[in-house]
Amino acid sequence: MTGFPDLKINRYGAFELHDDPSRIRLSEAHSAYQWISEGEVQHYLLSEETKDSILRGFHLSG
């Protein structure tokens, strides 16, 4: 467990941390989430600000 609260990543830029700090859940919608790794972040059509927030989440959880 990471010890961080669960946050969901969606079109508003929030994200959810997983028990495995190398993966988070990503979604453009509120209902369908997909686990992704840090290296996969750049493959999604997200704003640079959102990508930066996600990548910071990986470093906070590691």
**Domain-located, residue 3:** no
Q: Residue 11 to residues 1, 3, 32, 44: CA-CA distances in angstroms?
A: 25, 24, 12, 12
**Domain-located, residue 2:** no
**Domain-located, residue 53:** yes
pLDDT tens per residue, range 9-34: 544 455 555 566 666 666 555 455 66
pLDDT tens per residue, range 35-52: 777 888 888 778 888 888
**Domain-located, residue 45:** yes
Q: Which domain holds residue 55?
A: 16-61
**Domain-located, residue 46:** yes
Higher per-residue confidence, 6 vs 1: 6
**Domain-located, residue 57:** yes
Rounded Cα distance, 33 and 60, in Å: 21
Checking if the pLDDT of 2 tops 50, the result is: no
Q: What is the pTM of this model?
A: 0.44
Q: Edge to edge, what strands does the sheet with 16-17 contain?
A: 16-17, 23-26, 34-37
Rounded Cα distance, 17 and 48, in Å: 19
User: Number of folded domains in the chain?
Assistant: 1
